[in-house]
Structure 1
Amino acid sequence: MRQNVPAFTDMLAQSTHSAVHLEMRDAYAVGDEKEDFEAWRNGRRTDWEDHESWWHPYYQAVADAVARGVAVRRARVVSEPVSEYIRYEHFITQANLIAGEQVRWLPRSRATDIAFPGNDFWLFDDRVVRVNHFSGDGAMLGCEIVEDPAVVKLCAAAFDSVWERAVAHEDYQV
């Protein structure tokens, strides 16, 4: 993995027309989210009306990009029945939607014939891929930037195939 990867929010701020994210894991253990997941498991639910309690720079960056006309889309490929973590993620996706993201879900059983890259990624403006690397237990190991046209093409094709088949968030039941 290359070092000195630009901050995600900087990459999103530089996007002009699209930022797409493909997630393919059934569990993540990233930073503060571990604590939020545990709180959710223990019954705490977010008050979506109280933006101040959950809104953070990521959501603001998405809202700013969407306001500039950038289409921000996220697709998740998930195993069914879904894991407890995916049920949590489905709940907290409301924050992504409020920020302006479009989110869809694809059951892994409907993805057998899609060629996937080996890692989750963000693709900005169909030209730059930000690859996310995770450990086996879902901890973020780091990121790398890839601009190789073949990798960009693979990631774009994978995302587009998933997006076409996936179910809109509001219609996906966990």
Structure 2
Amino acid sequence: MLYLTIDETNTLIREARTDAFHLEVSDDHSAVADETEPMRRVLAGLPPFEAGAYPDSWREWDELVSELTNRGVTMRRVRVVSEPLTDYLRFLHGLTDRNARLGEDIRWLPRHLVDQADYTTDEWWLIDNAEVAFTIFGTDGDFVGAALTEDPTIVDRCVRVRDALWSKATPHAVYSPSGWSG
């Protein structure tokens, strides 16, 4: 496997030709540095940022998503979640409309509906059914990069997992988390 920095991971995603898929399986990434304050604000019923305080890292991600989807690249994400949702997932749910407006297709799948044969406990990006970048988090819980492989056995497994989970997951626009009225 090849280690990729955050910038190299974003470049990998940016270079997708047909499809970029992300699997998220953790109920809590609240230690991610640029999400701590926005999460606090959203959970308090406030906008994620004060006027004019939109962080560069978020703007760069918005631009990446827009660039890909405007080129016709399918950008998809499945979030496998425990219900009721954690505060972190409530925060993400509250912001997902923004990602959808940029062209990303995000679906939610309650963990109790997952067949363990169709699952991995790792989070990863599958790019063009050819490369898998496993997300790496530091000891402090912040995102630090990815481990990239083109191993056909691993890629094939991730394609099967993606297809199985995607078919069971609920589109964001109609997903209503159980036990939460937010």
What interval of TM-score do these two structures reach, taking the shorter chain for normalisation? 0.7 to 0.9
CA distance in 1, matches of 2:52, 2:69: 18
**Please, what TM-score do these two structures have when normalized by structure 2?**
0.84
Are 1:124 and 2:127 an aligned pair?
yes
**Scaled by the length of structure 1, what TM-score is found?**
0.87
Structure 1 residue 11, shift from structure 2 partner: 1.3
5 Å-filtered alignment, 1:44-123, equals 44-46=46-48, 53=54, 56-123=59-126
Q: Call closer, same or farther: CA 1:136–1:75 in 2, change over 3 Å.
A: farther
Partner secondary structure for residue 130 of structure 1? strand
Structure 1 portions without partners, runs of 5+: none
Amino acid at match of 2:171: A
Distance 1:166 1:150, change over 3 A: same
CA distance in 2, matches of 1:141, 1:13: 18
The code of the aligned residue for 1:123 comes to L
Answer yes or no: is the 8 Å Cα contact 2:42–2:94 preserved in 1. Answer: no
**RMSD across aligned C-alpha pairs, in angstroms?**
2.4
SS of 1:10's equivalent in the other structure is helix
Q: Distance in 2 between matches of 1:18 and 1:78?
A: 23
Change in 2 beyond 3 A, CA 1:57/1:135: closer
What's the CA shift for 1:10?
1.3
Find the residue that maps to 1:8 and give its secondary structure.
helix
1:3 partner SS: strand
Aligned pair partner of 1:31 in 27, 33, 44 = 33
Quote the sequence identity (%): 32
Q: How far is 1:83 from its partner?
A: 1.0
Give 1:153 shift.
0.9
Change in 2 beyond 3 A, CA 1:164/1:136: farther
Q: Which amino acid aligns with 1:3?
A: Y
1:22/1:159 contact within 8 Å kept? yes
The alpha-carbon deviation at position 53 of structure 1 amounts to: 4.1
Task: State the alpha-carbon separation in 1 of the partners of residues 156 and 169 from structure 2.
Answer: 20
CA distance in 2, matches of 1:85, 1:4: 26
Q: Secondary structure at the match of 2:78?
A: strand
